A and B are shown apart, each in its own frame.
Chain A
Amino acid sequence: MTQEEENIIVPGRWDLPFRHTAGRIASHFFHALVEKRIIATRCPRCRRVLMPPRPFCERCFVPLDEWVEVKQQGTLEAFTVCYARFTGLPDPPYCLALVKLDGADTALNHLLGEAELEDVERMKETVRIGMRVEAVWRDEREGGIQDIKYFRPLA
C-alpha cells in the first residue's frame, strides 16, 4: 500500500419508493383544502385548536375528534429566507414561514410568496414577524399541503 494510491469513491444514492398514508385525520384536512377550506382539530380538554390537525393532543393525551374551520388569514410567527442552494431543496431564495391562522392555536409551516426576497435589505423592510398574511390557492388542487400555493402579505 503506497501513499500515492488514490482512494476510490463509490457513488451512492437513496431513491426508495414509499406510500405514506395521511391517515383519516390529515386526509380529512386535505379533502377540505381541495374545497379551499382550512380545518383543524380542537382538544376537548385544553381547548387548543391544533393546526395542522392531528389525531391526539400530546399534552392532554386524549383523542381529538372535534373539527373547526379556521380563517384563511393569519399572523407571521417566524420566517427565514433561504439564500443558499442545497441539493434537493428548492431554488433560492425561498421563504419558509410559520403562520398562525386566526382561530388556530398552533402555527402551520408554509411558504411566503409575493414578497421581495432577492435583496436582503429590501426583504427586511417588507417581511416582518407579526405581519398579516393570507392563503393563496392553487388552481389545480389535489389534496395535499401544496394546495395552498403559499401565503402572501395582506395588503
Chain B
Amino acid sequence: MSAKVAIVGIGQTALRTSADDRIYHEHDYEAARLALADAGLDRGDVDTVICSGWDAVDGRTISDMHTAMSSGGYLKDSSHVGEDGIMALAYAYMRIAAGLFDVAMVTAHGHAESSFETVSNVVFDPLFVRPLGQSHLVSLALQANAYAHRYGVSDEQAAGVVVKNRGNGAVNPRTHLRSSVTPEDVLSSDPVCYPLRALHCPPQSVGGVALVLCSEEMTRRISEKPVWVTGIAWAIDSYDLGSKDLTSLSSLSSAAQKAYGMAGISDPLRALDLAELHDITPFHELLAYEALGLAPEGGASRLVEAGDTARGGRLPVNPSGGVVCGNPYGAAGLLRAAEAALQLRGEAGQGQVPGPERALAHGMSAPSGAAARTDCVVIMEGG
C-alpha cells in the first residue's frame, strides 16, 4: 500500500554539556554534513529539508526555520516542525512516500542556553496552570507518581531502569553521560520532583542529529546499507493533565497500533529485535513498554527485573543508553531513530545487539504539553 522509504545517511555530533564555541545552527550543520558523507551524497542531491526546534529553548521564535540553511536547504523545498526531530522524520517520510521528492534531509539539535525547567513553564496555559509552577519535570513527576502508585512500582524498580540504561551508555562513545551507576547511587540521589530523583532525570545535552531519507528507486541506486522504514505513525492526546489517564500513554499506544499494522506486526515482543525508547524518566520507559504492548498494564518492571530488556535480553531496550544518558532536547527522539538505524547496520560499536533485523524507535514531543504528549513510533528493517 505504501511507498518504500529508507534511511540512507546517519549523522550525530558528540553530545556534551555545553558548546560555547558554536551557535546552535552549527549542530544541525555538522550533523547534516556527517549524514551526507555517510550517504555518499552532497548538498546538491537533497530535494527537501525538514528542520525542527523549540522557540523557547533556542531563545528565538520560529527557531525551527533558522536551521534550514545549516541543513543544506538554500533555495530548496523546506518545512519545519516546532517539536522533536522525530516529527521532522515523519514529515520527510510523507514527502518522499507521496512521490514528490527523492532525497530528504532531516535535522534536529539540542541546545542549552536556558534552563529547560524555566522555559517549559510557558508551555502551560496562562489561565489555569502556569501560575502554579508547572513545568516539564513537574508534569512528568505527576505522571510517574500516578503510575507508580497505581501499580506499586518501587523506587528500586525505577532504579533498575536507570542502572540498565546508564550501563549501556557507558560503552556508547556517542552519548553524553558515559558512566555506569549502581542501584545505591540512584536510590541515594537527591529528590528533584517526587518521585523523581536526580539520577532519574536526563541531562540537558548539546548536539545535533541528522538523517537522510531516500525514495526506493534512489536508494537502490546509491545505498549499500539502507534501513527501510516499514511502519511509522504518530498520535496526540489532550494537553490537559487533568483530562487524561496518567497511568497509561494513550497517544503512544495509538501510534504503536497504527505502526504495527503498517509493518505487519502482531506480537511486538517476538517481532522486534531491539527498541530505542524516549525514556524521559525511568517510569516513562516502563509506561512505554505497556503502551507498546511489550508488557501487560502494570507489568513492565518485571521485564527489567528479568533482564529481558537488557542488552543481552529478549528485547534489548535502549542499548544506546537512552535519553537518561544523552538528551539533546528537541533531538532526543530523532536520536532514537538514528541509534536504531545504526544497530540495524551493525555499526553500533560495543553496544551492538547481535544481528538485529527489525527495530522500533519511539520519540515524543515532550514539552508540547509536557506529560500530555505527541508520540511517534518508527519501525525499521535492515536492507
Contacts and interface: CB of A to CB of B under 8 A. Distances in A.
B132 A111 contact: yes
Contact of B145 (A18, A80, A88, A90): A80
A89 to B, nearest CB: 5
B145 to A, nearest CB: 6
Contacts of B142: 78-80, 96, 98
B129 to A, nearest CB: 5
B248 to A, nearest CB: 13
A81 to B, nearest CB: 4
B159 interface: no
Nearest to B133: A90
B128 A82 contact: no
B194 interface: yes
A96 B133 contact: yes
A10 B159 CA distance: 39
Given A106-B243, A145-B128, A86 B194 contact: no
A89 B137 CA distance: 12
Contact of A109 (B134, B137, B192, B238): B134
Interface string A68-108: 00000000011111111011111000101010100000111
Interface string A5-26: 0010100101000101010001
Contacts of B243: 50, 58, 106-107
A12 B132 CA distance: 25
A18 B190 CA distance: 37
Contacts of B241: 78, 98, 107, 109
A25 to B, nearest CB: 10
B140 to A, nearest CB: 9
A76 to B, nearest CB: 10
B131 interface: yes
Interface string B241-255: 111001000000000
A120 interface: yes
Contacts of A20: 126-127
Interface in A100-155: 100, 106-111, 120, 123-124, 129, 144-146
A94 B133 contact: yes
A135 to B, nearest CB: 14
Contacts of A144: 131
Nearest to B243: A106
A95 to B, nearest CB: 9
B301 interface: no
Report the 3 A-B pairs with minimum CB-CB distance, sorted nearest first: A107-B242, A80-B141, A7-B20
